[in-house]
Structure formats: C-alpha cells, structure tokens
Structure 1
C-alpha cells in the first residue's frame, strides 16, 4: 500500500492566469485561455495558450546564465501563492539536503537553441555565449530551481513527453518513502517553442480553433505552456480537508512512438495501479481529470480504457485542456493542481471547449462546471511512446490508505 503524502503547498500558472486565484476563477467561469497563436514569427493557423509577460521576467543576477523562456516561466510560477516562502520554511524544518527537486519538461529551454541556430556564423559555429547546459539541457530546469531555492537534496528531471510531470510525483514519493529525503518540490515547466508548434503541425495534430476534447467534431490539440509545483511532504497531523497524494500508477505499453494503444491498454494499467496502490475501488473515485488531448485517436483510446475500468461506476470525467491547452511536459503537474483545487473547493471542472460529446466514446463530460462533494479524484497523463501515469488525490479525511 502507498503511504499518503501531503501536498503541503501548491501553485499553478498557465494561460488561465498566474496563481491559484486566477486558475480557480477561470475554472469556475468555464473560461479558456486559448487564443490565436501570435508566438514569435509562427504563421501556423492554430490557437495556443501563452503566459503573458515572460519577456519582462528577470532572473536573479547570480542565476543569469540560466536565462531562457522556460526558466523565466519557472521563476514566475514559483513566485505565486507564497510558494517560495513555503519552501524556505520547509528548508528550515528539514535542512536543505533533505529536500529533493523532481520536475518534468519535454523541451526545456529549446527556444534558446532555436534562436542561436539562427545566429550561426558562416562556418556554422554557434554564438560564443550560448550555454546549452544551463538552458536547453533537460537537467537545467532542476538545477535552476535547486539553486533558486537553495536546496541540496537529490534532483532529477523526467522527460517522458506528456506524462513527465505526473511521473515526478512517483519519483519523489519513492525517495521520501525510502527515507532518503523528507520533502520534495515536484512539478513541471514547459514553454512555447518553434519545435513543438511546427512538430505537432507536421504530425497533423494541431487544431485551428481552440481544442474540443471528446467532442464529436474534435480535430486536434492546442499547445499551451505552464509552470505548476507542489511541495510534497509526509502526512502527519493533517487537517481533514488537506489534499493528499494517495496513489500512483505507471505503465509503459510501448505500442507506438506517437499513437496510443487503440484499446488504451497502458492507460488502463496505469489507472488500475493508482487505485490498487491507494486501496481504492473505481466506485470510490468521484471525478477523473482525463488526459483528453482532443485528437481523435487519443480521446477514443482513453475513453475505452476508462469505460473498461470503471464500467457502470464511471464518475464525472472531463478534460481541462480546452481551457489551458496541452502543456505537454507540464500537463501532469498543472492538472494535479487542478485536481487539488477541485477537492479543496468541491468543484467538478467542465470539459471546456466541448460542445457536443461524441456518442461513440460513451462518455458524457460535463459542459459546465458544477459543485459536488469530492473525496477522491484521479488525474491521467499519457505520453508518446506509451509512457502513462495516473495519480490519485484525496482529502485527508477520505484517504483510504
């Protein structure tokens, strides 16, 4: 059985706004942050979810070599909701060496590399000041956050496409349960870049209008960017309304590099593992935050997996990517925070953007948010290559473990 861990503090920043207040207000209003893509010189006919003002974010002088859009987004996200103060207090309690950093990203600071490739000299050499290790390398994100927060514990970055920042919860939990650390910053940061936008366009997966998960007319994804974090600690003497991580499930079906298993086999295995680790039955789940990217094959495969596992016990289920866009390596962390807000506020988020549910999928995602007494919620994150992760969250008074 999984020993529950406390989300002692959490925050999220996306195209819905900066911090929990803006995120919750948008969810309550069923408002999307997606708009016609005006990122850099991109000419693609699509919508995206950009975070405003990142060019005005300044990194501390001591960390100037880490400057890139991804780290400016990370800093901006960490500055919301008193999160840095909460980390500082944890550092006082446990010591810097006893707090880990586990983050997910898919492309890290690749935009910086895209820029310098346009500045190559006649001999093809990159500009002398380019610092790949501190900007584009995957580990750069964890090192930046680690230095910013003055932490000395283990640090790692997971890059498994769209499951990245859900899988970090499992990575951190293993080290906390093993006694290696007492707490961890978990989360994910992914920022807009040219590679992602043109790459998904080459796969013919981008929608022109804001995406419509599980809709009969769904035709692709909308790319977003986000930074979301939680401070994970052991759950001791916890208020009954506090949010706990009660179960994790991971799988790798390796069906195809970019297409899900048609029956959603790996997705079903991840959900089953999350429930089993929490000692929870499908009937005890009150809401599912679906991966729901709004591509025809992804939504169909996930719907098959959910129906197979939950059957007649299927609870309300929605995808919030029509509000935030698909934030890729940050999606798991962003939707974990949305689940925490749902539990805290007793709110079932709508499947924003969905107009008419596809009857062939057998799901009825809510088209408007509504109040409900939530006790346990499941969050799904499924990535390219069949890397799948599901997280089960519950209020402390309702966690079965």
Structure 2
C-alpha cells in the first residue's frame, strides 16, 4: 500500500494554493514570465517562474512581525507548510510524533546577496547573516509550526525535495515518526540566475522540454510540501488519503558535476529501484512526470533512460517545468503535488511549448490535457552531482 499522503500545500508561479495550481494545469496556463521582484537591468531578458506575492505580502499573509529575519525561501516554505497542515486537518502537532524534512539549495542567499556589502557597517541588516545557512529556513519553519520531534534539511540540488519525501517515508516505515511534513522551498536570487547563465543552460525564451530545438531552462521559485502519515494514524483519525507513495529509488550517475551520462544510468537505476519497491512492472505506469529541464543534456539523457526502462511502450509523459520554471530544490515536491493532482483528476498535464520531436529518440510528450485512467504516476527528479531520484504515487 505504501505511505499515505493526507495533505498538500503549494505556492508557485501558477498559484498560491492547491486549487490555483490545479486550475492553471487544467487550463494549460503557464506562470513563466519576466522578472519582477529582483532589481536587475536584465529583467526584461530573463524568463522565470516567479511567485507573484512580494516578501511584504507574504509577511502579511503569515501574520509575522515586520522586523522578522525570514528570507524569501523561509517565507515561501512557511506559507506552503501551513497550507499542507491545514489541508490535512492537523490542528495539534504534538498529538503524534511529527517531523519536518525540508529541502533547499538557495537557502537565505536572496537576502545575504542583497546586503553583503552592508553587513560590516549596518546593524539593521546583520540579522540576515545567520539566515544564509540552508538549514535555518527549516528550523524557523519547524519552530513556527511547533514541530520539535525531528527537523532536518536536505540539499542534493534538484533532487532535494524528492529525497526529503523519500526520507520521510523511510522514517514512518521504520516506526521512528507517525507523520512527517516533507517537501522543499527555493526562492529566486541573482546568484542562481547568474550561475545558470554561466553554465549556458538558461534560455532567454520560454523553455521547451524534450523539443529538438530546446535552448535551456527557465528558473523558477516555489515551495511545496506533503503530509505523510502512517497507516495507524490514518485509521485512528479516519483520515482522507489523497494518494499513496508506493515506491521510491535513488541512484547516482557518478559521471560529471553538472551533466547526466549519455546512457542515463542514474535515472535508469532510480526508476528501476522505485518500480521494484512498488512491486510494479513498467507497463503499469500510466504517466511519467519527467524531470524535463529543457536543457540539451538532461532531456536527451532522461529520454534514453526512459526508453531503457519502458522499451517500445513508453507511457504518456510530460514535463510540467514549462508551467512553473525549474524550481531547483522545490521541484521534486512541486511535481509530487502535480502527480497527486493528476491521480485525483485522472488527467495527464501537458508539456507546453513542444513543437519538434528529438530525432535521437523519437519520443513525443503529451502536449494538451489528456483525460485517462491513472492508477500509478512516476515522477523523476535529477540533480547536479548525478543525484537521481524517482517517486511513484498510486491512487488511493
């Protein structure tokens, strides 16, 4: 059966709630546009998936004091975790052994990069120095929610949130915790935008995953979290289950710092491991929510890995990063939410901006909303350093 998912919360470029995100996906409405919240002369030239709320609007929504030292990463994370707990009808945290596993790569650098040159002379901004560390956003969220049993941070680049979900499931299965809030949060920053530009994998146009003429990714920001609960809690509380996490796998390419191998070995092994845990054969997967970054390297490597696993019978697949941009550490959780929504709606969400099939593989993603019977959805998340993770979600 797997581990039960009883709550979800999300804030992304396509909406501030589960309902907003669901509506945008069903309407094929992308949130990728020009940069607004970061001051740069290049804003008109950069396409990003940006959350529309400003930091001050998030502060108001969360009822925080104006002089807080939350970074944008922390604000987005707190917004989505609170929504997930509310969605799961959890009012008393201490009733069960509850943990939080939050993923981030950007951490607090959106603030430290802003005030770096002022830290030595301006006492008012020194409060942000301690929030640079990736683990601080997790601890601040845990403190705000009253989670004291267990809190940890995972930072494995773009597979971070998938690994957070995986670790949460393992802790429940091992009997260490009864329920875990799992997911990830990352804000846009100049550092990451410039960094990906330096790697020459960032597109100035709208990203086109799996397209023969793809030029690179669009960065995004988001926070998304799931509430995982044990069977015992679900039965005792008579909880509604949205879906089950039935399988997961992690492997490493051990190939290159930023590139995936040409034969997609890490992705292939991660998918195989997840299928084995879920006790499913490839033919039982109804939809693949692909990592699909729209970079030349990733989409080719992932396509080869998919063909190695599924052979001639590749199921419907798409990359939803054309809706949100690539949200880095949050991506695995954003796409976990979208996978559960796909199961709930019995719908495959489209791969926007696709025009031309890659001649090397001949694979064509789904390009419009497709209604079909879905029982099992496989979701891929692959990170720099070769860290590859696959999750399988099954209908409740």
TM-score, scaled to structure 1: 0.91
How many angstroms apart in 1 are the aligned matches of 2:287 and 2:341?
12
Select 1:232's aligned residue among 228, 241, 244. Answer: 228
- Aligned twin of 1:375: 375
| SS of equivalent to 2:292 | coil
- Aligned twin of 1:99: 98
- Aligned twin of 2:177: 181
- Aligned twin of 1:109: 108
| SS of equivalent to 2:254 | coil
- Aligned twin of 1:353: 353
Task: After TM superposition, give the deviation of residue 65 of structure 1 in Å.
Answer: 4.4
Task: After TM superposition, give the deviation of residue 73 of structure 1 in Å.
Answer: 1.4
- Aligned twin of 1:29: 27
How many angstroms apart in 1 are the aligned matches of 2:82 and 2:148?
20
- Aligned twin of 1:195: 191
Task: After TM superposition, give the deviation of residue 145 of structure 1 in Å.
Answer: 1.6
Task: After TM superposition, give the deviation of residue 79 of structure 1 in Å.
Answer: 4.4
| SS of equivalent to 1:223 | coil
Task: After TM superposition, give the deviation of residue 303 of structure 1 in Å.
Answer: 0.2
The Cα offsets for residues 229-276 of structure 1, whole Å up to 9 and x where unpaired, read as 110011355889730000110012221111111111001000100010
> Does 2:72 align with 1:69?
yes
How many angstroms apart in 1 are the aligned matches of 2:87 and 2:338?
21
- Aligned twin of 2:204: 208
Task: After TM superposition, give the deviation of residue 144 of structure 1 in Å.
Answer: 1.5
| SS of equivalent to 1:229 | strand
| Contact 2:209/2:354, CA 8 A, preserved across alignment | yes
How many angstroms apart in 2 are the aligned matches of 1:66 and 1:115?
13
Give 1:208-357 correspondences, 5 Å limit: 208-235=204-231, 236-237=234-235, 242-357=242-357
| SS of equivalent to 2:216 | coil
- Aligned twin of 2:3: 5
| Contact 2:69/2:128, CA 8 A, preserved across alignment | no
The Cα offsets for residues 34-85 of structure 1, whole Å up to 9 and x where unpaired, read as 00233422334220011012322225557964421111212332344x6346
- Aligned twin of 1:172: 168
Task: After TM superposition, give the deviation of residue 205 of structure 1 in Å.
Answer: 1.0
| SS of equivalent to 1:385 | helix
Task: After TM superposition, give the deviation of residue 314 of structure 1 in Å.
Answer: 1.2
Count of residues paired in the alignment: 387
The Cα offsets for residues 131-150 of structure 1, whole Å up to 9 and x where unpaired, read as 35752211112111211111
The Cα offsets for residues 156-197 of structure 1, whole Å up to 9 and x where unpaired, read as 110010000000111112211121110000011000101100
Moved over 6 A (4+): 238-241
- Aligned twin of 1:399: none
| Contact 1:63/1:144, CA 8 A, preserved across alignment | no
| Contact 1:116/1:127, CA 8 A, preserved across alignment | no
How many angstroms apart in 1 are the aligned matches of 2:392 and 2:67?
38
- Change in Cα spacing, 1:248 to 1:64, as seen in structure 2 (3 Å) is farther
| SS of equivalent to 1:359 | coil
Which runs of 5 or more residues in structure 2 are unaligned? none
How many angstroms apart in 1 are the aligned matches of 2:147 and 2:89?
9
| SS of equivalent to 1:155 | strand
Query: Root-mean-square deviation (CA), in Å?
Result: 2.1
